[in-house]
Structure 1
Amino acid sequence: MGMEDDTHLVERKTSGEEILKGHFLHAFRDQVLLPNGQQATREYVVHPGAVMVIPLLDDGSGELKLVLERQYRYPVGRVMIEFPAGKLDAGESVQRCAERELLEETGYSAGAWARAGVMHPVISYSTEFIDIWFARDLQLGERKLDEGEFLDVFTATPAEFLQWCQQGLVTDAKTLAGALWVQNVLQGTWPLEWAAPLPA
């Protein structure tokens, strides 16, 4: 893809209203002008952004493991297999958020970090982005779950994890995107640039 002129695709806001401001969700309804001059309505959720961490664990067995979680997700009524993740606090950098979420949810801190990329999980109705990070040289400490947060932490080999994705046992969008990164990083197709954690 080159630097095409996208003006024939762009929708322009003509008016808008707030329709919900909850503790977590902030929803809007906008009127937009379509490229053909017609009017349309767009409803969407404003989200502060989030991070997902793909933790690579060398547990001494000689086989690399991935650190994963099992967590009940109320909207879908299921326990989901996911990589550790969480939303950004106000003013927080994405790496600081990644380091915080990994420690809080799993108890692990990492000696090396690499930013993989960014994904937009629900582009049709949310501004949400998820920054994807890899973590390695893990040291286990004490996790610090948020009030009301319940999850199990476990490990799996990359082969096991990818098989669960293929079998439909993993259906979470960010974790499936993580599977693409795991596959390509471990094959050496998508190299990462590793760096130290941020100073405390």
Structure 2
Amino acid sequence: MAEKTFEDLPAGDQHLREERISGEDIYGGIFLHMKRDTVSLPDGQEATREYLTHPGAVAIVAILDDGRVLLERQYRYPIAKACIEIPAGKLEVGEDHLLCAQRELEEETGYTTEKWSYIRRIHPVISYSTELIDIYLAEDLVPGKSHLDDEEFLDVFAAPLERLISWVEEGEITDVKTTISAYWLDRYRRGLVAPTPIK
């Protein structure tokens, strides 16, 4: 029997949905909070779901005039490794997402610009976190002086898109927002996708 196609699937998602019955807070940190909920499954059984709530974040695909991509290298304690990433930062409570992107780009790299576009939203860890990341494109960059937070240490550098993609394919870059952005930028340069300009 042939595998179903997407068009063969039932309409809607009601047959897959899990409904919250009750819940409790397990841990409250500086910005991450762990919760444990009891949910009703589609077949009527109950299950436990543990997850982190996260305020959300932004990331920036920043392109220099020569076409290179602005990148950062910083140490990520949970995986004990210095990672290559695009600039990014956590949203403050109630903060406008574009203003956060503008703030993070300037704070971390010193660059500013008036030319912003919206790429897309991603959910990097859908199995156990509410985190979302809105990715923006920044072009026509103007250099300036960075001003990192007191507990922030990172290297800022630029690389051609081809090298960025090779780092992804070689496993040097494993960060999901940077991986997705690298492939998006490749398709953008080939005219296959386009961002949404922000007026």
| CA positional deviation for 1:194 | 2.8
1:41, CA displacement in angstroms? Answer: 0.3
Residue identity matched to 1:57: L
The structure 2 residue matched to 1:56, chosen from 55, 63, 82, is 63
Give the CA deviation at 1:88. Answer: 0.6
Residue 134 (structure 1) aligns with: 137
d(CA) in 2 for partners of 1:148, 1:85: 15
**Residue 14 of structure 2 aligns with which residue?**
7
**Which segments of 5 or more consecutive residues in structure 2 lack a partner in the other structure?**
1-5
Helix, strand or coil for the counterpart of 1:140? Answer: coil
Tell me the secondary structure at the aligned position of residue 177 of structure 1. helix
Q: Is the 8 A contact 2:113 2:140 kept in 1?
A: yes
CA distance in 1, matches of 2:11, 2:101: 34
TM-superposition CA deviations, 1:145-181 (whole Å, max 9, x none): 1111000000000111111111111001111111121
Tell me how far apart the structure 2 counterparts of residues 4 and 103 of structure 1 sit (CA, whole Å): 45
Tell me what 2:92 maps to: 89
The amino acid that maps onto 2:151 is G
Name the structure where strand makes up a greater proportion of residues. 1
Q: Which runs of 4+ in 1 moved over 4 A?
A: none
Deviation at 1:192, TM superposition (A): 2.2
CA-to-partner distance for each residue in 1:104-159, whole Å, 9 max, x for gaps?
A: 00000012000001000000000000001000000111111111100000000011
Q: Normalising by structure 1, what TM-score?
A: 0.93
Counterpart of 1:34 in structure 2: which amino acid? L
The CA deviation at 1:4 is 2.4
Mapped partners of 2:192, 2:59: distance in 1: 21
Equivalent residue pairs, number: 192
Instruction: Report the 3-state secondary structure (helix = DSSP H, G, I; strand = E; otherwise coil) of the residue aligned with 1:147.
Output: coil
Q: How does 1:28-177 map to 2 (within 5 A)?
A: 28-58=35-65, 63-177=66-180
- Residue 164 of structure 1 aligns to a residue whose secondary structure is helix
